[in-house]
Structures are given as structure tokens and as C-alpha cells.
Amino acid sequence: MVNDPIADMLTRIRNAITIRSEKVDIPASRMKLEIVKILKEEGFIRAYKILKDEKQGILRIALKYIDGNSVMSGLKRISKPGRRVYVGSEKVPKVMGGVGIAILTTSKGVASDNTCRRESTGGEVLCYVW
């Protein structure tokens, strides 16, 4: 049993990038799907789809490479089950000087740092992607 499914998802993506895999399969959940949608919108992955199985479903992510190098160079879990990290709307972090993104869960759903700044919302910082 996995205690932190989001950290598990980020680790699976990181491991797939390390071996230069074209795709990675992750057990699906609504939260993971929202995070993957943001990664797609921000251009970090090529595509994703949900595959049905007898349990919760599988989220298949097609990773994006340019000239053999991954578009994502790093993923980092910020808010963990043992230590939650919350920020107000005025303190939404910029990742790598704006090159990367922070993914937050807000009262309006899961959003990127740019969306949170635009809508003046804060929330729990789930992870950084750069």
C-alpha cells in the first residue's frame, strides 16, 4: 500500500524519464488526473489517456522529449502527508525563476502557479515541475 500516491506518481514519471521510456502507467485517481491535465496544458507531456481495468483504472502518460532530452528535468513533492505546505495568494512560489511550475490544490480545484496568481488564490503546494 502506498502512503503518498502523488509522490509515487512523481517517482514513476522520474524513473521513466531516467530510462527514456516513451510512456508510463500509473494507477488512476481524480487528483492524479488533474495534475496530469496541468502537465499537458503546460507542455510537459505529450498526451495522456485513462485505461479501464477491474480496479481503479490506469493513467497512461506519453512523455515528451526534444532531441532525445526530456522536457521535464525535475519533479519535486513539496507538501507531504507528514508536513503540509500552504501558501496565501500573495506567496505563490515561482519555480526556477518562472521556467518551471508549481501545482497547487485550491478551493477551486487543482491549478498551476500562474493560474493561482491570475485568480488571486492560494492553497496547498503539491509539487514543483521544471
Count the Cβ atoms, other than its own, within 10 Å of residue 54: 5
pLDDT at 42: 97
| Rounded mean pLDDT, 88-92 | 97
Task: Give yes or no for residue 90 having a pLDDT over 80.
Answer: yes
Condensed to tens digits (0 to 9), the pLDDT of residues 33-67 reads 999 999 999 999 999 999 999 999 999 999 999 99
Task: Give yes or no for residue 2 having a pLDDT over 90.
Answer: no
| Rounded mean pLDDT, 92-109 | 96
φ, ψ for residue 41 (rounded to 5)?
-60, -40
pLDDT at 6: 98
pLDDT at 11: 98
Domains and CATH numbers, the chain: 5-70 (3.30.1370.30), 75-129 (3.30.1490.10)
CA angle, residues 82, 88, 94, in degrees to nearest 5: 85
Helix/strand/coil (H/E/C) assignment for every residue in 70-81: ECCCCEEECCEC
